[in-house]
Structures are given as structure tokens and as C-alpha cells.
Amino acid sequence: MQKETLLQKIKANKGWLYSKDFGYQPVAYAILHKMIESKEIAKVKNGVYRHLSFGDAHEWDELHKYYPQAVLCLFSAWQHYGLTTTVPYQYHLAFAHKANPTKIAYPPVKFYYWSENQLLLGITQQDNGLRIYDKEKSVCDAVKFRNKVGEEIMYEVLKSYMQTKDRNIEKLMLYAKQMRIEKIINPMLKPLL
């Protein structure tokens, strides 16, 4: 197997590559390893890889078409803002608590159902129409859902946010108060200031 064959499979999968696509072929794994080292491909999880030259624009257009009321959240928002090194293999979308969206085959999605107060707080809209939570709301979500996403991810998001030049601590604390996590986030931020 050659690199061109892998690239054809990636193109057919719209930027994704799965181990099952090439089976156990040592040559394919060697090529894949070189592509990861050269930052052409990112390993999302065991057996799932994403080619980095495939932009998210096409996928975001698809998401907006199918889910115009959805809000990009959690891992997807953290990756969008560069707050995590984790590359999600699916898009994380927030919906109103009583929404009933239908899952599509592609791109892969994970749904979250939040109360109206939680859902509407901190929404921004991209040029392509996709809605996403702003940085501060995304950081507060990392703290609020720390038991589900893991404390390591939460600390990575917090630390990355505190290193950004455009951070807005006042806004962050306003959201933290509204989300009732102010007493949790305060002691975490002090060592990072």
C-alpha cells in the first residue's frame, strides 16, 4: 500500500481514515505514522484518524443545514478556540431540553440536551451561520462538566484559556455565577493568574 492509496481512502471518507480501511498492513501503518509525524494526520483515537488539510467548513455547512438551532459545545468548541489538544472525532452539539433531532450518518455527532438558561448563555454565530459558545462559556462548561469530561481536560482548557491574550475574566466570572460554579472555579483560577 502506498501513500496515494491512503489519501484516496481519506478523500472518499471526507477527511477521515479508519484502521478497518486498510486492515493489518505494516506498510500502511508505517506511512500513517510518518503522516502523523509530519502533522498531515491527527490520531483522534485508536483506529480513527483525521487528515488536517480537510477543513471543517464543509462539515459545518452540513451541520448548520441539518441542525440550524444547535450550538457547537464542549470538545468541539474547545478545539475551535485552541483550548485543548484533544481532537474530537465527532461534533458536540447542544440542543434545547425538549428537542428531538435526528442523527445523520455524516458528519458524526453527539447530542446534549440542556435547559433553556444553560443553552442560551454565551452563544455566538459564525460567518457560516453555525452557532457556537464563546470562549468564556466554553471554559465554564469544562468546569461544570468536569466529572464527565475528566479533570485533566478541564485543567487543560482552563490553563489554555488563561494563556490567551483576549481572555475576559469578568465575563468568565459572570457566566460562572449564572451557572452556579463560581465557588468551584475561583480557587482553580487563582494559581493561573
Query: Is residue 32 located within the same domain as residue 103?
Result: no
What is the model's pLDDT at position 89? Answer: 83
Eight-class DSSP state of 121: T
What is the model's pLDDT at position 44? Answer: 67
Query: Is residue 34 located within the same domain as residue 74?
Result: no
Query: Is residue 99 located within the same domain as residue 172?
Result: yes
Amino acid of residue 147:
N
What is the model's pLDDT at position 132? Answer: 95
Query: Is residue 41 located within the same domain as residue 69?
Result: no
Contact 36, 42 (CB under 8 A): yes
Query: Is residue 105 located within the same domain as residue 23?
Result: no
What is the model's pLDDT at position 22? Answer: 77
What is the model's pLDDT at position 104? Answer: 77
What is the model's pLDDT at position 57? Answer: 59
Q: How many domains does the chain fold into?
A: 2
Identify the domain boundary among 29, 51, 73: 51
Give CA–CA dist 145/151, Å, rounded: 9
What is the model's pLDDT at position 136? Answer: 97
Give CA–CA dist 99/120, Å, rounded: 14
What is the model's pLDDT at position 131? Answer: 93
Query: Is residue 109 located within the same domain as residue 124?
Result: yes
* Structural domain for 11, as ranges: 3-51
What is the model's pLDDT at position 139? Answer: 97
Query: Is residue 93 located within the same domain as residue 35?
Result: no
What is the model's pLDDT at position 1? Answer: 58
Query: Is residue 64 located within the same domain as residue 84?
Result: yes
Residues 6+ apart with CB under 8 A from 1: 22, 25, 27, 28, 31
Residues with pLDDT less than 50, the chain: none
